Structure 1
Amino acid sequence: MAKTKVYFWLKVDKKFFDNIFIKRLKNMPGGYTMTVIYIRLMLESLESDCVLYYEGYFNDLAEELALKLDVSEDDIRMTLSYFTQCGLIQVDSDSNAEMPQAKAMLESETNWAWYKREQRKQAKLDNVQNKKKKSNSCPTEIELEKEIEIDIEKEIESEERDREKISASAEISKYYQSRIGVIDGVQYQQLMDYHTQDKLELDLIKLAIDKAADNGKRSFGYVNTILKNWTQNGIKTAAQQKEEQQRYIADKGHAQKTVNITDPFGGNLG
Structure 2
Amino acid sequence: MGESTKRYFWLRLKKTYFNQLEQKKMSRQANGKDMQIVYLRMMLLSLDNDGYIFFQGVYDSLEEELAEEFNESVEIIRKTVTYLVNNNMVTIDAEDNCFLPEAQSLTGSECYSAERMRRLRKKLKASHCDSDVTPCDEEKEIEKDKENSNINTNCASDNAPKASRSEINEFFERIWKLYPNKKGKGQVSDAKKKKLYDIGYDEISRAIDRYKDGLLKDDWRKPQNGSTFFNSGYVDYLDANYSKPQDRQEMDAEQQRAQWQRNYEENQQYLRKMLGTPRPTQPDDPFQ
TM-score (norm 2): 0.41
Structure having the larger proportion of residues in helix: 1
State which structure, 1 or 2, has the greater radius of gyration over its C-alpha atoms: 2
TM-score (norm 1): 0.43
